[in-house]
Amino acid sequence: MDTKKLNFDTKLIHAGHYDEPFGSATVPIYQTSTFAFKSAEHGAQCFDNNKKGYIYTRINNPTIEALENNLAELENGYAGIATASGMGACTSIYMALLGKDAHFLSTSSVYGPSRSVMENHFNRFGVSSDFIDTSDIELVKKSIRPDTHILFIETPSNPTIQLTDIEACAQIAHDNGAILVVDNTFSSPCLQNPLDMGADVVFHSLTKFINGHADAVGGIIITKTKELYDKIRPLMISMGCNMDPHQAYLILRGVKTLGLRMERSQQNAKRIAQWLESHPKVEWIKYPGLGSYTQKDLMKKQMRGPGAMMSFELKGGIEAGAKLMNNVKVATLAVSLGGVETLIQHPASMTHSGLPKEIREKAGISDGLVRYSVGIEDINDLLKDLEEAFDKI
């Protein structure tokens, strides 16, 4: 079956699966560290990069490969590289494409560790970096340098829900001899395909919307070209950032319902955002599906929907926010996002606490900002949960 011709929801279920020898309807878990060769000659052939053959699970594995092929097709890329986590994907990209004296340019409000690993560790190897407001395209043009190797954007960004114009950034990166890497975790391929807009590499924390069930941690890198794939994959293998087959199985199971989950999460998110926007105790709210969202045109240009992530601040700042987080019962007070269950968390003291306060503030992560990831529960239960918790503030 040529799955490339299928529609998105069908691709979620069928894309990238190989012909399983026993006809298993799902991709089996090849829980093995190594693969027996049929002969010495076959073993040698498997080590020839141009021939197909399984060797050792850190290098390749049929369950992991099925997930890589599925996601590469969903992102319209050349091929996928599955990793142990989203950070495994992020750091594999950094390690493969940056070196001494390279410059790295990125969004100021990227996921905390994507920034701190650059500023606290890659700087030790002679990589310089700047983190700027990439939603300001003129600033991106001014900040890119002849030695910039990677322009790295996260859109929407975590947790500020700020968008960056992917097409414009691809143009700027390419005009300056750099490549554009996009962290597409917040949208998933259901809502946004950066490679189609000129990006060279896209990556995801699979822990989030793609798996969707808060029961696995994983990452994926998808490149547009064979050249980039051939640079990143061997490095990922050598660093041992590989995924485990059982993890791949769970994520393959999760991805099948991505379309359905995203549809329901977005429906819920729109209702909740409207409710929050009209509530007198809310100081501000940022959600791409609201009329008040300042980047609505860009959202419509590059996304197929507003997603299910929002951030807001209560009047009364962090004290009021803490009361809300301590009083919700249906929503779980936890980091992570993009699952079937609604999660609430406080970035300044949790996901982004590794960044100094002045950097957080410059990036728009105020101390009172509360992040809310909307799940697929019944909307009436979610609204009632918020109403009851708001009454206690």
Site residues for ligand LCS per CB under 6 A: 85-87, 90, 111, 114, 154, 158, 183, 185-186, 205, 207, 217, 219, 335-337, 351
CB of 351 to ligand LCS, least distance (A): 4
Q: Which residue's CB is nearer to ligand LCS, number 259 or number 338? A: 338
Q: Are strands 201-205 and 309-314 parallel, antiparallel or unpaired?
A: unpaired
Residue number with CB closer to ligand LCS (165 or 183): 183
Q: What are phi and psi of 332, to 5 degrees?
A: -95, 135
The DSSP 8-state label assigned to residue 293 in this structure reads -
Q: Nearest 5°: phi and psi at 175? A: -65, -20
Shortest approach of ligand LCS to residue 186 CB, angstroms? 6
Taking the complex as a whole, the smallest distance from the CB of residue 343 to ligand LCS amounts, in Å, to 8
Q: Measure the CA–CA gap between 234 and 240, rounded to whole angstroms.
A: 10
Q: Write the single-letter amino acid at 377.
A: E
User: Which residue's CB is nearer to ligand LCS, number 154 or number 385?
Assistant: 154
Closer CB to ligand LCS, 86 or 305, in the complex? 86
What residues are paired with 221 via a beta bridge? 81, 203
> How many Cβ atoms sit within 10 Å of the Cβ of residue 36?
8
Cβ–Cβ contacts within 10 Å for residue 356, how many? 11
Edge-to-edge strands of the sheet including 309-314?
A: 282-286, 309-314, 369-373, 343-345, 332-333
In angstroms, the first-to-last Cα distance of the chain is: 56
Q: Which is nearer to ligand LCS, 85 or 135 (CB)?
A: 85
In the chain, % helix, strand, coil (3-state, to 5) comes to: 40, 15, 45
Beta bridge partners of 151: 105, 180
Q: Report the interhelical angle of 379-391 vs 317-327 (nearest 10°).
A: 130
Residue 153 and residue 92: Cα distance in Å, rounded?
Answer: 16
Q: Considering the complex, state which of residue 114 and residue 193 has its C-beta at the smaller distance from ligand LCS.
A: 114
Residue 339 per-residue DSSP state: S
Q: Can you read off the two tokens belonging to residue 42?
A: 């076959």
The span from the CA of 34 to the CA of 30, in Å, is 10
Q: Shortest gap between Cβ of 98 and ligand LCS (angstroms)?
A: 17
Closest separation in Å from C-beta 43 to ligand LCS: 34
Shortest approach of ligand LCS to residue 353 CB, angstroms?
Answer: 11
**Tokens in use for 375?**
């799940």
The encoded tokens of residue 130 equal: 């700047």
- The Cα angle at residue 277 between residues 273 and 283, in degrees rounded to 5: 125
Q: Which is nearer to ligand LCS, 55 or 95 (CB)?
A: 95
Nearest residue relative to ligand LCS (C-beta):
86
Q: Which neighbouring-strand residues pair with 80?
A: 222
The catalytic residues are 58, 111, 183, 208
Question: b or e along 154-177 (b: 16 or more beta carbons within 10 Å of the residue's beta carbon)?
Answer: bbbbbbbbbbbbbbbbbebbeeee
Closer residue to ligand LCS, CB minimum distance, 75 or 154: 154
Closest approach, Cβ 86 to ligand LCS, in A, equals 2
CB of 214 to ligand LCS, least distance (A): 11
